[in-house]
A and B are shown apart, each in its own frame.
Chain A
């Protein structure tokens, strides 16, 4: 009975996480209809206004509506997060399967590069890639995707190493199945659960990374309103209009927390000892 209650409680926290995330995602998708103003519309006459009936959270240095910019910022931040983690996952799983399944020179090379990349701290690595390729949305996605690539290679290789020893892989070979087909119909479904869990957990890291990169000016560039660029823009008049910094922070924390609630529960489901 007690165990059941525990599970219900855990599922409840995941449910809350999903609802929180859905809220952010839906508002971001519906941004053009939800936001009261055009996020890029400059209104010099009403600059640095505090909260009022017309401007929910006030306006920034150029008189742009902060509330609208946060809503549109979600679009860019979530987009960058999802796409970069997705790209990283697809490439990482591909290399991970090759490195795990074969044991020749190519897999040694993959693991060698992976180990080198893993020795850099995430944010420094992202900043480095950002500096090499220059700022902008596409390059931010690239930077984050490359930063997470070695992590995905690692976990998918580890998963493949255990699955490839299963007898059904030998059985698949004994009926003449090609390696690629074994990857697709035997390896991929068997490793996907652990990879999806890690992707959800790392998605929150990717979103914070986008914020960090944009904040230091190596990520998404103004006037594009991502959450990181909003923080960067509004820091300069923080004392006059604190809402422009506080609210993006709250929204970022909200999103990250939502993803962590989901990710924690996922991790529990995967870990049999926690059950």
Chain B
């Protein structure tokens, strides 16, 4: 399985996640949040991870940047290979040098990801001072340059603004400036536009695409919005209950989805045709199963319309259905 996967991807991808497994040790038992997932991301590409709430998208992201809260969280096994080096073997000190410089992260809510007591400019120049060893004045110039780049108006004035003096969109731009200020190889965007309204969302996504081209950063985009994935990503991973259900190039996912879960997800996107026909929005029946109490076979079997006896007993492997398309379902084995 793994062999096949690595054969498929280019010989030397930027990020390669191999058999990553993360558990949470809670009072009511051990929860397996991510079960041995594999994927890779090439230089300059965007990989979208989609799935319902609680399917392990954010845990995957936090595992890669190694910010899983421990305890209760723990990365059990696997390798995270960034530019050929396994960063899971890094010490805390070495990891600090990776964060911000090679991997950076944008969070969901820009309003809470900035310190309310600190001027925006100082928060951004903090990263530059940390990793590039510039003087205060140099860091300030670089910050203003970054502000210009992410389209913040009057950047030299904004430098001295407190976060509450800016709108959500501007705050998210500032966060992007912070994430990109040291030209990281990989930017993890954890639902970067969820807290923003649609017009600002479009602006932020365009900005991210533009900057990606300029800097050559790879983006790991985590979202539950299929529209965002369609616009941004080159490859898509569909996750469910901590497992990769389907992974394929973005066109394939939308044109020919294989996994019943992916099909369900795509059908539950509201569109104009169904509104005109006055059809009810399709949904996937049921809820995400509790991680304490997962079904024994395929984790989606209890909500799947196409499930049969084998699905309930045994978990299917992730198999190739076409050269670039993989699916974890007994229907295609």
Contact = CB atoms under 8 A, between A and B. Distances in A.
Interface residues of A, number: 18
A171 B127 CA distance: 11
Nearest to B124: A175
B104 A175 contact: yes
Interface centre among A170, A174, A178, A186 (most CB of B within 10 A): A174
B113 to A, nearest CB: 4
Given A166-B112, A167-B112, A170-B67, A176 B100 contact: yes
Contacts of A190: 115-117
Contacts of A175: 99-100, 104, 126-127, 130-131, 178-179
A168 B114 contact: yes
B258 interface: no
Contact of A167 (B95, B96, B104, B113): B113
B118 interface: yes
B287 to A, nearest CB: 26
B89 to A, nearest CB: 17
B117 A171 contact: no
A178 B107 CA distance: 19
Contacts of A171: 105, 107, 113-114, 175, 178
B97 interface: yes
A166 B109 CA distance: 11
A191 to B, nearest CB: 10
Nearest to B117: A189
Interface centre among B65, B98, B115 (most CB of A within 10 A): B115
A225 to B, nearest CB: 43
Interface in B125-170: 126-127, 130-131
B227 interface: no
B99 A168 contact: no
B29 interface: no
Contacts of B259: none
A186 B115 contact: yes
B285 interface: no
B99 A176 contact: yes
**Dominant SS among interface residues on chain A:** helix
Contacts of A168: 112-116
B52 to A, nearest CB: 22
B115 to A, nearest CB: 5
A174 B65 CA distance: 7
A98 B100 CA distance: 24
B16 interface: no
Given A167-B109, A167-B112, A168-B113, A174 B104 contact: yes
Nearest to B62: A170
B210 to A, nearest CB: 22
A103 B71 contact: yes
A3 interface: no
Given A175-B126, A176-B131, A170 B99 contact: no
A19 B104 CA distance: 51
Interface in A153-180: 166-168, 170-178
A177 B114 contact: no
A181 B71 CA distance: 22
A185 interface: yes
B183 to A, nearest CB: 13
Interface in A170-214: 170-178, 181, 185-186, 189-190
Nearest to B99: A176
B21 interface: no
14 contacts: A168-B115, A170-B67, A170-B107, A172-B115, A174-B67, A174-B100, A174-B105, A175-B104, A175-B126, A175-B178, A176-B100, A177-B100, A177-B126, A189-B118
Given A172-B115, A175-B179, A176-B98, 11 more contacts: A166-B112, A170-B107, A170-B113, A171-B178, A175-B104, A176-B96, A176-B99, A177-B126, A177-B130, A186-B115, A189-B115
Interface of A: 103, 166-168, 170-178, 181, 185-186, 189-190
5 shortest interchain CB distances as A-B pairs: A175-B100, A176-B99, A176-B100, A174-B105, A167-B112
